[in-house]
Amino acid sequence: MDNGQRRRRGTNAQQLEFERSSDWLEYRRACRKANYLINKSRTVHYRQRIEEAGSDHKRRWGIINELLVHSNDRDNTRTDDEN
């Protein structure tokens, strides 16, 4: 668990306990920061993998296909039967 997630969870506990608007705002800032760091990390990871594949087209398309399959897994609009 990264520092952003820890801060987010700690702030969420404070929100439930104190219910102050300032705590809620801090919680939302922590959420946005954690999401930003997670997305940035994922982007860097896949960019590096694609660059490492170089001119090996089979590896590149494998990585791209993995990205597309994972993005379909995160589709919350479909039911479990459809996934």
In a domain, 82, yes or no: no
**Amino acid 6: pLDDT:** 66
pTM for this predicted structure: 0.55
- The whole domain housing 18 covers 3-73
In a domain, 57, yes or no: yes
Cα distances (angstroms) measured from residue 43 to each of 10, 11, 37, 38, 46? 26, 26, 10, 9, 5
Say how many domains are in the chain: 1
In a domain, 78, yes or no: no
**Amino acid 83: pLDDT:** 43
Furthest CA-CA distance within the chain: 56
> Is the pLDDT confidence value at 15 over 60?
no
Confidence of residue 12 (pLDDT cuts 50, 70, 90): low
HSE of 36, CA atoms in CB hemisphere, 13 A: 9
In a domain, 80, yes or no: no
In a domain, 83, yes or no: no
Q: What is the pLDDT of residues 29-80, one digit of tens each?
A: 999 999 999 999 999 999 999 999 999 999 999 998 988 887 666 555 555 5
HSE of 33, CA atoms in CB hemisphere, 13 A: 15
